[in-house]
Structure 1
């Protein structure tokens, strides 16, 4: 091509691209100084790496629930609190948590909107049989003197601990993902960090004039623009800024994207290093014009590429450190061969979701139950040696009996679960060594702080899935051994 026939190159857009992705450190520092946008994007990127969806906390204003909410927020999870009274909940939980007014005892209130984008549920609900602000030293006398305390409305254990739990877990079963997957981007419910994370990388970086953008539309993101082959160019793409820290997707098999295209062939690209001009791992896929399709991209099928040439002796993609994602339309396939479905000019690709698929089954529903639920009426039990709730089960409306029925509803739901049976809950500081047992035979106490921390650990522990266990603290010992060691001792429930 002669100089006369070349199209005008946009040097300003070239600098803008490099600045956005911090390839030019000095200009990027100036941009952060005046806008602060990169710091915000970094924080939100960390949030996505942590939560990958919303965690719904039921019973969020209770002794354990409010602690679970606090810990989730501290670790940058997106949190939605299911509450009966949003004004009271705001006073307790603060302004950072999303509130949703509903009542687990009224199934009509457990709407699809409540479950929208929820990736896991922590259920801390239940009729209380102890004071709101913790245990007294003389708990036995307290139990003898109460009918029992119930917050906000007078409910029975049957209604709350069985029917309510059953309502909630059935709503979860209708909404939670059926397969072991993790949502990375959900453009149906866009957030500010999506605008801060994705940016265009077009052939302007090599002298071309193609131009693209990504913007949020109704229920999707739209990757659109014009691809030109002028100036030896011919590609347009959108790419995420580097995740900090990188995503660890080692337990998954690949990436699944739901897209609606224009009939052309696109590339999905992942990067396992922070370099701007490093190795890219590519996968080509065809779209069907104006049809939604799900494209699965196995990590093992990714092709290592550097500057449009495939690399023959390069290790496979390291999914334990995913630094960036990218979508591209290019006139080239690999090693100079042409894309058979490419046409220069305008293009449009809608993206609904991006998720990791094929992971180990993780807990999606955590239920806080109680130690002792199987003991009322169990042959050979000496009630004089049992905690007050076991001794007074009948006087307290059969509270442990109905908690056990609630557990059964969770087990039978088909939703991956973990059921925690804490011994007597206290307001003492956390950090003690914990003991896990199965069989409902232990007695003792445990801090609400430690139960809240345990809930967070379970969200990331496949070994705890479909398990029921009791937990107490080990007196006078700091926490040891590791969480992984504790979970490795658990046996899954014998499910039908």
Structure 2
């Protein structure tokens, strides 16, 4: 028995508690809270706050911006940056939506004071003094035609039913250090394997041997610090390229080193890319390749580890029909959960309060905010925002449309008031709108609802984001 390799394996996976505490690895790989979020208009006043809020909540973020250099200066390498213009359909690549699970649209026509503004636009943002505004772009192009162009790209490609767990096409060092080899050396064998990050994929490879009654090689994750809850999904999807051999994918719903494992065997095609879907309902409970039916069905609400294995054994003494000792290699691009029943918003639009008021009978323009009074002078900005809302409502996607009252740079610590019917007036912080977007992402109560929002006068230690009392559009 190779005692050195056995010691390294047991220590790496913290099987020996005292030694593991003394030499605990520094890596702390964090699985993403959910899939990739696309933010449009990410360098604007609300957009940049939405991005920062998502990053703090451990989301992966992709941004669509006109000015890539400005986005790089603002976000550095913390987000994926795509350049494009909603008003020019040809600049919107369908690959923009790859792995995206939800879109937050903060895009809007740029409005600026005609004159008298400070360099930082502080007075304009704070509403301390009103300056006559003007639009920079065409509201029709940005608010309406731009929304139509965006929706044409989003609808066929948005995937909210998946959750990306490991993306080996865009890895970091923590990913490699979170996976380690568990070979038959733990049983006295001499097989050897490893996982390497090469050519935008993880390669599980090695040399499997039947010497010393061995015959398996595998790579396994350390236990997640918090068990992974995938109860909303149907199974695991692997995107990979194999070598013609038959492998096993293994998960555990307990934190024991050598407890019950749930297995699924799958065949690969030599040098051919495949997507392998593994339903949770088809996982087989085993202990060292012996089935244990009394263990019951797999509990996908508490997943502790994942594992890939090549073994000469199938189950209960049967042999793997495609096993052969020697060199092997399995190339993995992604590991995802699939089959989520979608019940949360796929598309969140930041619109504006007042969009239905221009031309509404009985409106006293003297008592309305500047955007309503000056709608015609501003190219019909609110009229075209409303038209953009209709594009979203008619898209067939699960959506939420947020209509903030006058936006400010104040801290987002005030209570919030939600209403429908487009009648309320007031102010609301951009910070509060960013936090609201985060809450809406995972809130089934927000689906297919349009609402206005403003702040109260009082500071609220904990904001109430309940939307259950609002009507569906």
**Alignment TM-score, normalising by the size of structure 1:** 0.84
Measured after TM superposition, the shift of residue 266 of structure 1 is 2.0
- Equivalent pair of 1:10/1:209 in contact (CA under 8 Å): yes
Which of 147, 150, 170 is 2:134 aligned to? 147
What's the secondary structure of 2:33's corresponding residue? helix
State yes or no: 1:238 paired with 2:233.
Answer: no
Measured after TM superposition, the shift of residue 490 of structure 1 is 4.3
State yes or no: 1:449 paired with 2:449.
Answer: no
Aligned residues: 464
Matching residue of 1:405:
387
Measured after TM superposition, the shift of residue 310 of structure 1 is 2.7
State yes or no: 1:419 paired with 2:401.
Answer: yes
State yes or no: 1:376 paired with 2:366.
Answer: no
State yes or no: 1:21 paired with 2:13.
Answer: yes
Matching residue of 2:199:
218
Measured after TM superposition, the shift of residue 130 of structure 1 is 6.4
Cα distance in 2 between the residues matched to 1:455 and 1:117: 20
State yes or no: 1:488 paired with 2:465.
Answer: no
- CA, structure 1 residues 462+221, in 2 after alignment: closer, same or farther (shift >3 Å)? farther
In structure 1, stretches of 5+ residues that fail to align are 1-8, 33-37, 149-153
Q: Deviations along 1:171-190, whole A, 9 cap, x unmatched? A: 3335432x611121233333
State yes or no: 1:208 paired with 2:189.
Answer: yes
Cα distance in 1 between the residues matched to 2:283 and 2:193: 24
Measured after TM superposition, the shift of residue 91 of structure 1 is 4.4
State yes or no: 1:49 paired with 2:4.
Answer: no
Cα distance in 2 between the residues matched to 1:334 and 1:395: 75
Cα distance in 1 between the residues matched to 2:301 and 2:88: 43
- CA, structure 1 residues 119+136, in 2 after alignment: closer, same or farther (shift >3 Å)? same
Q: Deviations along 1:128-167, whole A, 9 cap, x unmatched? A: 446754634456x43xx2334xxxxx31211222222333
Cα distance in 2 between the residues matched to 1:477 and 1:227: 64
Report which stretch shifted further, 223-232 or 115-124. Answer: 115-124
Which of 460, 468, 471 is 2:450 aligned to? 468
1:210-359 equivalence runs, <5 A: 210-359=191-340
Matching residue of 1:123:
105
Matching residue of 2:419:
437
Which structure features the higher share of helix residues?
1
Measured after TM superposition, the shift of residue 481 of structure 1 is 6.8
Q: Deviations along 1:460-489, whole A, 9 cap, x unmatched? A: 234433332222233326266754xx1433
1:95-174 equivalence runs, <5 A: 96-112=78-94, 114-129=96-111, 132-133=121-122, 135-137=125-127, 141-142=130-131, 145-148=132-135, 154-174=136-156
Measured after TM superposition, the shift of residue 244 of structure 1 is 2.5
- Equivalent pair of 1:383/1:390 in contact (CA under 8 Å): yes
Measured after TM superposition, the shift of residue 282 of structure 1 is 1.6
**Alignment TM-score, normalising by the size of structure 2:** 0.88
Q: CA RMSD in A?
A: 2.8
Cα distance in 2 between the residues matched to 1:127 and 1:441: 23
- Equivalent pair of 1:61/1:93 in contact (CA under 8 Å): no
Q: Deviations along 1:42-83, whole A, 9 cap, x unmatched? A: 1xx32x232443x33222222211211222222233333333
What's the secondary structure of 2:148's corresponding residue? helix
